Chain A
């Protein structure tokens, strides 16, 4: 059960994991409250999957302690596994089985009575909008459908804590939104979610708390609002045809920062229609015309740059 004393669903301290002499997880401390969504944000190779594997007992850490649902990951592995569900980064659906057969396979492996397994499978197919595809082999599913089926398979056992490793990587915007909806519903039902992602927007949309992982270390942790305060906000970029236009615009927009080489101005602002119109009207009033306008929202790169001082390129790939 969830640790009744302090409401912590997942707690880790001093986690370390190295492959040969390469340290992949380097002293991570985490605390995820029960019934919340926690996002681990990081670029390729940051150590997200390794962290998930350690937290889910799939990998023994070299050092550190994991407590999940009140059970020690090292000594009470079985109790931890009984409380959690994991949807890994790489699909674990069986391609040759149909969607329904995949779910029934899970029910059988959980030793659910036959009729109950069938009911659970039916409900999940319904909930994830997979009824029509239920009888088709999973190999014919789209990426979004596979992801949904993968998550549905995790839910057969009704886990209280769910780990999702990059649940929306490779999905189109619509499927991503569907996945977000599903995740929100799960939390509304009282489930705790630990997810990893490469997208700041996703963490922002879903998570109660976000931790930023860089080369195996947590470089920041907090709510989305707290993190964004540490990151330069969104801005509008204006490019001008020639130097005099840039000079004039810079005088009209004193809050902006200029780049003389690129002939651009960087104007802080949320890029909403209203503020864009106001911005253009100010330029119009002085008959200055911008060649090009683009809106930039902070992305993972900005967060990384701000928090680590280096870009979020994949670090020391194999």
Chain B
């Protein structure tokens, strides 16, 4: 089996920065990504973006080329289009690429698997034409597609950025329907300290809002009772503001009320997680280097960097990736303790500055309350079509948590393995049973965490490959 020093899972800002830093310190790195090309979601396919699209997306996007360029190092092997379906302690990385299952041994693992959109179950959210705002941005970044007649629904600065990108592309969204209230903003102002620390982000935010205002994009703040209407696809968004009902026709609806760590790889390794009340999501328990706390009998040598460790955004992710790489290099005796600390110091200072604005943002743009408590008829698990009411009924019949739920309903057992609904299921159950999210827990995630065809697995068996054997895997998989 091929071997490498460090396996990095995910080639977004955290993964790319970590790979470059680690390679610079002499480590061989395998950088895995299920997308064919590096960039992650923040810098999706940035290398293939032409000047026109670059201008629409803005300098913060094309900035990502600095990170992709740094991957041009003989010690880094970028494994694109590679779905990592299992990580076995020790470590063996099991992945499929080009229809073949392959194995790679690594001494350390860094999870840089980024964020997922917070589930936003509102009536009609499964209709074709409804997507996450992140998906809309990806269509723009990767394919240069702009929706003809769209509405943005939810809350958070990402909605402003995406709307401004549409304005720059020449097709304004029909409206922004925002769920935060003026009261949220007032409460957020308590975090003034963070405001000053994150001054750059604040002025950027105001600049975006000014562009929208000048372009005449209507903003509706404090919307509620949101539902998407349509027969076979989205046709309109219905909502209420104050006492009045409104209906806005459109073809495309973009939903967004924040992002949360993508838990799949970290959960599959059994890492400890805790509920983060400010971000309203679970985060893996890690030290200041991103090294996951190893519970008794748990795995050691796993690091988490970027949004997967708690939401901080692309620039923070990059810094966290570098910090993790330093510590990993130290652990593998590439650098001494002092050099590690010395190099880390300026990174930590920058990281503090990057994260300063977060408490303000989390308070000013809280998750949409109705989507955290969907009404009984709203579908929560998209794969198996399970409603919030069914989940509450299961709770009333004595179901205490997500894993026992599988005995009642098929929620979380579909192909997405709870990636979309997991957090919503925990929160609905927690509210119904009166337990905390920590007590309620989350779906057990077991490998394979990515689809694996039987053909690919059979091919693996034929080569006599199995974790622990020493044969050479076919094809690529080695670093340098």
Query: Do chains A and B interact in one complex?
Result: no
